[in-house]
Structure 1
Amino acid sequence: MNHTFIHRYEIDSSRPTPGSALRDAALRVLAPALVLFAAITGFGFLITGPLGGLPWEEDVSRSVASGRTDLWNSITMVWSRIGNTEIIIGVCVIAVALIWWRTKQWWYAVVPAIAIAVQASVFVAATTIADRPRPKVAHLDPAPPTSSYPSGHVGAATALYLTFALMAQRIESAWLRRLVTVVCAVIPFLVAWARLYRGMHHLVDILVGAVNGIVCFLLAWHYLRRRTDSGRMGAKARQAVSR
């Protein structure tokens, strides 16, 4: 991922009008998200139909479930809850408010909200249509009224925390920037393992959930037209890109 993409909101910090931001979002987020939804749903029909439900996945789920311990049950309970809807929304609202307050740039602060909103929309529509049963092992979490495919917990955590990881590149302290980046990058993996370990999703459900989150994060980060040519760079932006 190149530096101009990472620092695009620093290179071009011009204030868009709400109308232009909405038009950009419709063209650069909503339209591609429809293609993403079609691809995820189509693959869901494939694995629940012609591919016969991928029987080997049940072996994976049973193998993981057979190694459960009380300690890991407790640890993964925490990791799984990181991806809960109320936690994701709460963290996002607080982050958007703080980023807006610190930067005074509403168009930048709303990026995490766009990421999880688009991810959730694709997930809810796809999971309703695909309607894949959950693994045939004991479920350690309450099962939400959605199917196993794709994983909404993994998708939401991936979309939100990868967005935070890119936003962390504005942190001037090198050690703190690296620490926050690593933590944000690791969290989706913890949620993914927890959902597999706790019997809530098949392996493919988790992988497709991660793809959903990654694509929605990229769409959200790129939702607004920004000029990233060298002529737009101020001294601070050049310093950020050269880090």
Structure 2
Amino acid sequence: MTYLTRWDDDTSRPSFGGAARDLVVRAVLPAVPLFGVIVAIGLVIMKPLRGFEAENDVNRWFQDRRTPTGEAITKVMSMVGNTEYVIAVGVLVALVILWRTKAWWFAVVPLIAISVQATVFVIATAVVGRPRPTVERLDPTPPTSSFPSGHVGASTALYVSFVLMATRIGNPTVRRVVIAVCVLAPLCVAFARLYRGAHHVTDILVGFVNGIVCALLAWGYLRRDTGAQSRA
């Protein structure tokens, strides 16, 4: 059984209690060291690097090149990472997958991904407390610090989990299109957040790491029997 085919190789139905235990052991607890690494990076930026002020040059570069068209496009791109959008899309896709597969334990993967990511993000941003870039911000920013990017982390967690799910799509053309769109979505969010002055580059990069790791943890949260396929 490979990591990507784990859900196809073992389609057995878990108990709710067993799935909950696996969630804690295989997704929640492994997110603790992820949180530690993210906070450590943030504190290095804030203390030894004194906020890494040189990064503001990147944000000023984007600010100097803003146009009305660019502002309109990036406003839409940035909205893809909004909390309400991420939750709505995650719940909608989970319901569609539940309807098609009747496998609730598989349908919850994207919801686990965004929930674990959000938990790591909220606590880390409170601990680090990094100021926003010193440029004009085009969006009202939430009452959290700049590090790491919640928009990038949330959209990455959501759409990387969709990419993993899309590997099960039988039609190769549809599969490639869905994967391409899902890869592009968080990249667009990242560009928009830089363009609109909401985050530094390192905020974006660590947001990617947070989202990717949480999506992978969600994909592997449930124990699967590696010998199930051979015994079928």
Asked if these proteins are the same fold (TM beyond 0.5), I'd say yes
* Residue identity in the other structure for 1:178: R
**1:13 and 2:33 are equivalent in the alignment:** no
* Aligned counterpart in structure 1 of residue 210 of structure 2, from 209, 212, 224: 212
Q: Deviations over 1:171-211 (max 9, x none)?
A: 11111110001000111100000000100000000000110
Separation in structure 2 between the aligned mates of residue 143 and residue 101 of structure 1, nearest angstrom = 36
Counterpart AA for 1:160: L
Matches within 5 A, 1:89-108: 89-108=87-106
CA contact (8 A) 1:96 1:113 kept: yes
1:230, distance to aligned residue in structure 2 (A): 7.3
Cα distance in 2 for partners of 1:36, 1:130 equals: 14
When the two chains are superposed, the root-mean-square deviation of aligned CA atoms in Å is 1.3
Structure 2 vs 1, CA of residues 155 and 232 (structure 1 numbering), >3 Å: closer, same or farther? farther
Distance 1:164 1:33, change over 3 A: same
The residue matched to 2:167 in structure 1 has which SS?
helix
What is the distance in 1 between the residues matched to 2:23 and 2:229?
Answer: 25
Equivalent-residue separation in structure 2 for 1:45 and 1:168 (angstroms): 37
Runs of 5+ in structure 2 lacking a partner? none
Select which of 151, 158, 161 maps to 1:160: 158
Match of 1:129 in 2: 127
Give me the whole-angstrom Cα distance separating, in 1, the residues matched to 2:230 and 2:77: 42
Q: 1:169 aligns with which of 167, 170, 177?
A: 167
Number of matched pairs: 232
Corresponding residue number in structure 2 for 1:144: 142
User: Structure 1 residue 190 and structure 2 residue 214: aligned?
Assistant: no
Deviation per CA, 1:214-235, whole angstroms, max 9, x where unpaired? 000000000001123474486x
What amino acid sits opposite 2:64 in the alignment?
S
TM-aligned CA distance change 1:232 to 1:65, over 3 Å: farther
User: Which one of 31, 38, 60 corresponds to residue 58 of structure 2?
Assistant: 60
8 Å CA contact 2:9–2:229 kept in 1: the answer is no
| TM-score computed with the length of structure 1 as normaliser | 0.93
- Give how far 1:63 is off: 0.8
Question: Structure 1 residues 233, 186: closer, same or farther in 2, change over 3 A?
Answer: farther
Q: Tell me how far apart the structure 1 counterparts of residues 24 and 228 of structure 2 sit (CA, whole Å).
A: 27
Name 2:179's counterpart in structure 1.
181
Read off the aligned partner of 1:179 and give its amino acid letter. V
Q: Which stretch shows the higher mean deviation, 207-216 or 220-229?
A: 220-229
The residue that corresponds to 1:48 in the other structure is 46
Moved over 6 A (4+): none
For residues 132-160 of structure 1, the C-alpha deviation after alignment (integer angstroms, 9 at most, x for no partner) is 00000000111111110000000000000
Tell me which amino acid in the other structure corresponds to 2:195. Answer: Y
Conserved 8 A contact 2:166-2:179: yes
TM-score by length of 2: 0.97
**Pair 229,185 (structure 1): closer, same or farther in 2 beyond 3 Å:** farther
> What is the one-letter code of the residue matched to 1:218?
L
CA distance in 1, matches of 2:182, 2:227: 28
Picking from 81, 84, 105, the partner of 2:82 is: 84
Query: 1:11 touches 1:233 (CA, 8 Å); kept in 2?
Result: no
Distance 1:233 1:62, change over 3 A: farther
Contact 1:127 1:149 in 2 (8 A): yes
- Name the CA distance, whole Å, in 1 between partners of 2:89 and 2:202: 27
